[in-house]
Amino acid sequence: MPRWTREDASTAQKMWEAGFRSKDIAMVLGRDHSAVRAYFAKHRDQFPYRIAKRHVVTIKEYLAAKELWSKGRTVREIAEELGLKVSQVSSLTIHHRRDFPYRNDISGTDWVPAAIEMRKSGMTIQAIADRCGVHEHAVRRRFRLAGVA
């Protein structure tokens, strides 16, 4: 591959600052993706790491989620209505149990016996997770430990 020219470096830097991925820059410059990444690593001051922009749940969204939860909405329904990811709402219900209590049909704080009964009645694991306010992986793990299919 030919050496990097000033024009290549300038084009790459402008594209990087505009938000293009290194893969796209490589395609425009007609270079191998790994060559572009190596050049970026060598010239890190011109091509700084990017931090992914993550959406932090606002207090307004938190209060709205809390209100919808109290009205019996599922994690998925809340996420859709507020434009959040299901994992964000699920995290809220898990980490803020005071504001997102277990549902009324779950006996005490141990949701597993009620979940087992729901499973026996034919409910899906996702529906059980939504109803109990826990992640579906937690339901699967507890079912495995309890020997429930």
Pick the CATH number of 1-53 from 3.30.70, 1.10.10, 1.25.40, 3.30.410: 1.10.10
CB 51 within 8 A of CB 44: no
Neighbours of 132 (CB within 10 A): 23
Measured CA to CA, the distance from residue 57 to residue 79 in angstroms comes to 11
What pLDDT digit, counting tens, does each position of 79-110 carry? 999 999 888 888 888 888 888 886 654 444 56
Average pLDDT value over all residues in the chain: 84
Architecture of the domain delimited by 102-149:
Orthogonal Bundle (1.10)
- In this prediction, residue 1 carries a pLDDT of 64
- In this prediction, residue 109 carries a pLDDT of 52
| Helix (H) or strand (E) run with residue 114 in it | helix 112-120
Regions in the chain scoring below 70 on pLDDT: 1, 52-53, 102-110
Global model pTM greater than 0.85: no
Nearest alpha-carbon partner for 100 in 142, 70, 130 = 70
Tokens of 142: 């507890």
- In this prediction, residue 107 carries a pLDDT of 42
- In this prediction, residue 58 carries a pLDDT of 87
- In this prediction, residue 108 carries a pLDDT of 46
Tokens of 107: 């006996």
> Which amino acid belongs to residue 77?
E
Give domain limits for the chain: 1-53, 58-101, 102-149
